[in-house]
Amino acid sequence: MRRNDPAQYDGLADEWWQGAGGFAALHWLAASRAEHIPPAPRPGAVLVDLACGGGLMAPHVAPLGYRHVGVDLGLAGLRVAREHGVAPVRGSVLAVPLADACADVVIAGEVLEHVADDGQVIAECARLLRPGGTLVIDALPATWIADLLMVRIGEHVPGGPPPGIHDPALFVDRRRLLATADRVGLDLALVGLRPSLRDWVAWRRGRRDVVRMKPVRSTAVVFAGYGTRR
């Protein structure tokens, strides 16, 4: 398959909930995202999870009181997500089939570096959010070091991404991302992330299920974004 081929996710569907499988790092990122999601502000509050895959955010979202709606193109992933309590919606993150201002929280985790127009995804996030709503994203930046560590090396390291899952040509221009966010009415701040080395060693030895993602000043390898809809 070519790099970034969505069909790869169908072939990996059985690994979504394997903590030591090909999606291990997505479990770590899911836990990190959850730290930035506030409790549901009201009964019936909605969290929209773009490119939800197998629904790894589900155990983090459920205690917060949201209705968890997952959007994805892959039917195999959506079936898995549904088994974990996610309300599945098949659709593109570039044109989400949901109403304007329907969400109190939008998550766009590890999806911006998989689309040709990441700005359109950010515009969709803004459209879906109610005023004051929360946005949580994470992605890979368009830097040589992200290419080196997350593709050329990372694809061969335990806990790294499955081979071929990323195309560095689609990695995200952070300045353009922030400019787009501002233009569509989002206040967004970026922070770098890295896995805890101590946790990673413990995870490799089977002593931890999840590796903590630690905030760092540099956004050159992996970054998260936290913001609100103006």
Q: What is the DSSP string of the chain?
A: --TT-THHHHHTGGGTT-TTSTTHHHHHHHHHHHTT-PPPSSTT-EEEEET-TTTTTHHHHGGGT-EEEEEES-HHHHHHHHHTT-EEEE-BTTB-SS-TT-EEEEEEES-GGGSS-HHHHHHHHHHHEEEEEEEEEEE-BS-HHHHIIIIIIGGGSTTSPPTTS--GGG-B-HHHHHHHHHHTTEEEEEEEEEE-HHHHHHHHTTS-SSPPEEEES--SSSEEEEEEE-
Residue 111: predicted pLDDT = 98
Q: Does domain 7-229 have CATH number 3.40.50.150?
A: yes
CB 33 within 8 A of CB 58: no
d(CA 43, CA 66): 8
Residue 11: predicted pLDDT = 87
Residue 10: predicted pLDDT = 87
Residue 153: predicted pLDDT = 96
Residue 21: predicted pLDDT = 86
The burial of 65, by beta-carbon neighbours within 10 Å (0-12 exposed, 13-18 middle, 19 or more buried), is given as middle
Residue 173: predicted pLDDT = 98
d(CA 33, CA 51): 14
Reading the chain (230 residues) residue by residue, the pLDDT tens digits are 799 998 899 889 999 999 988 899 999 999 999 999 999 999 999 999 999 999 999 999 999 999 999 999 999 999 999 999 999 999 999 999 999 999 999 999 999 999 999 999 999 999 999 999 999 999 999 999 999 999 999 999 988 999 999 999 999 999 999 999 999 999 999 999 999 999 999 999 999 999 999 999 999 999 999 999 99
DSSP strand pairing (186-195 vs 213-216): antiparallel
CB 109 within 8 A of CB 30: yes
Domain ranges of the chain: 7-229
φ, ψ of residue 28 in degrees (nearest 5): -65, -45
